[in-house]
Amino acid sequence: MHERMAWAERLRLYARLVRLDKPIGILLLLWPTLWALWIASNGKPSLYVLTVFVVGTVLMRSAGCAINDWADRDFDRHVVRTAERPLTSGRISGREALMVAAVLALLSLLLVLPLDGLTLALSVVAAFVAASYPFTKRFFALPQAYLGIAFGFGIPMAFAAIEGRVPLVGWVLLAANVFWALAYDTEYAMVDRDDDLRIGIRTAAITFGRFDVLAVMLCYAGTLALLFVAGAMAGLGWAWDTGLVIAAGIAVHHYRLIRTRTRAGCFKAFLHNNWLGAAVFAGLVVDRLT
């Protein structure tokens, strides 16, 4: 009985390690992947491919969280928001975190094995980018841009899985995702800016400085402009454009939340990006249905 309880507690710690209790990260990866799947398949992805990409998104985001916590274990204890994470607080070991990440990455790889060679090759690149992202915060002034590539690699993989190639529209969507990640993860970094300055981590919020709010809004503008271009390239119509208009309204709401730079407002804006991604996807679904 005691042993079962111990294992149950261990599993709860592992679930917290990979942020299953905070699904916002999964959604921010999932929306751009779904955009790509719907465009590549003309709104009709097969159930198998859809399942592979949804489950793979959950697995790779979870593996990325474990790697991130292992890489940042010496920094996180100095940040109020992250000090009680399972690895940082010592409730699980660094070796356990690496093992969890390895198992999840392996399961993700097994999912894409039945797909074509290009998708498999891109999945290897995606795994490398995701695993290396945490280390960019040591030297790169805009690690959030690198995160945008990591979070958006489901886009070229989706096109490869369905079309056997990655057309130009796929790369435009990936570029849009880089700008979107710069916007929402800068909002996220604004929450921890004081702690990050003290411990020496580089973030876009620090790099942009007093122009952080302006930079976030310009990134949203870049995101929407590139999505508009992608829609034109894919032959999308009024419903897609309507989704982008709604997304623009959501971005304006985020300006109201972050303009005073409060921790609560910036974090709320970050979480609210789920609705921006959902608005774009809803417009795409309606467009393909009509």
Cα→Cα distances 173→58, 159, 199, 254, Å: 20, 11, 34, 22
The model's pLDDT over 233-278, given as tens digits with 9 standing for 90+, comes to 999 999 999 999 999 999 999 999 999 999 999 999 999 999 999 9
**Strand boundaries in 31-148, DSSP class E:** none
Kindly state the DSSP code that residue 77 receives in the 8-state scheme: T
**Residue 116, helix vs strand vs coil:** coil
Q: Which tens digit of pLDDT belongs to each residue from 53-112?
A: 999 999 999 998 888 888 878 777 767 677 778 888 878 888 998 999 999 999 998 999
Least confident of 25-39, 114-128, 250-264: 114-128
pTM: 0.91
2-289 belongs to which CATH class? mainly alpha
Distance CA 74, CA 201 (A): 11
Listed by start position, the domains of the chain span 2-289
Tokens of 94: 């660094």
Distances (CA, A) of 101 to 19, 81, 139, 239: 12, 22, 24, 39
Q: Number of H helices and number of E strands within the chain?
A: 14, 0
**pLDDT of 171-222, one tens digit each?**
999 999 999 999 999 998 898 887 777 777 888 888 888 999 999 999 999 9
Q: What is the pLDDT of residue 290?
A: 85
38 close to 281: Cβ distance less than 8 angstroms: yes
